[in-house]
Amino acid sequence: MKKINQGSASGQGKVRYFEDQFDDEEVLYVFRKHPIVMRRGLIFGSLGLLVGPLYTLILTYTSSANPPTMTFFYLSFLASVVVAALLFFPSWMSWYFSVFIITDQRFIQITQRGFFHRSIVDMGLSQIQMVNYEVRGIQETLLGYGTIMMQTMVGDLLIHYIHHPAKIQKHLLEILRSNGITANSAPGAKQELYEEE
């Protein structure tokens, strides 16, 4: 998380981790989704890496009398790296800036999609009634991710692709208990409030 320094009346700087953080609020835990959410960008980026070499290969066979030089190959590969980075960057940005913040007062879910779309779910810790997790299938088991299911007073909050969901659930329950909130880990209600893909 980005730290924001705010000067206080006494002249000492107070560290703030996000813009909407209250003056009397302390950040306890920050986590992100599993990097697998960037798989689409990784696939497109990998295809982008092939653009330069394939173009050079085509020129080699179509212009056999005057084939491309090694300098041309290196320059085309460098261009491919730039194309791959541009194709991968939106997925990385969406993953990096989509965070879950737990403070001593509330749970905040910030979801970034592309450059211009950001959504925020903000709820008090006292609204959380149950915290569960689910790991389904061989892919989630092998790669170590799953779904966190939080039952709140207004419905269920489902958060998919969470890295080490058992660890996150345990940490969430510890924070809630340390703040005097008793949250169970039994199966929650069927109603769904949010489903974050």
pTM: 0.74
Of 37, 6, 44, 43, give the one whose Cα is nearest residue 159.
Answer: 37
Mind listing the pLDDT tens digit for each residue in 49-106? 999 889 888 888 888 778 888 888 899 999 999 999 999 999 999 999 999 999 988 9
Element (H, E) at 135: none
- Look at domain 4-33+98-196 and name its CATH class: mainly beta
Q: Tell me: pLDDT of 33 over 90.
A: yes
Q: Tell me: pLDDT of 162 over 90.
A: yes
Q: Where are the domains of the chain?
A: 4-33+98-196, 41-93
Q: Give the strand order in the sheet containing 145-152.
A: 128-134, 145-152, 155-163, 192-196
